[in-house]
Amino acid sequence: MSEEREMATGRCFVCKREFTYDPREVITFLIDPQTGIPPGFSVLGTMRPAGPEAVARSTDEPLCPDCQGRAEQYRDAMNAPPPRWESWPPAGN
């Protein structure tokens, strides 16, 4: 069956749900405790410069699988492949 694993319990920084995770596999985000979001993000979800003091006070917070799935959907939407311009400019011949 499954091998013994050292599991940890933490609180998802997005939905605040407690969940058990494998520390070696869990996704963590650097979270600024003053804002509850990663340094470099504004509360509106836009990018802003991450101040060194914001990074210094930030800690790694675990992300639960549910929110991880949503984050990946969001990331995919944000990182949609750029339009391809293979036919532009038009070839000379």
Positions touching Zn ion (CB under 5 A) are 12, 14-15, 64, 67
CB of 62 to Zn ion, least distance (A): 9
By C-beta, is 10 or 39 nearer to Zn ion? Answer: 10
User: Rounded CA gap, 77 and 44, in Å?
Assistant: 17
CB nearer Zn ion, residue 29 or residue 40: 29
Q: Within the chain, where are the H helices?
A: 52-57, 65-78
Q: Cβ 39 to Zn ion, closest distance in Å?
A: 20
Please tell me the distance from the alpha carbon of residue 57 to that of residue 35, in angstroms, as a whole number.
11
Task: For Zn ion, give the closer residue by CB, 26 or 64.
Answer: 64
- Tell me the C-alpha distance between 36 and 30, whole Å: 10
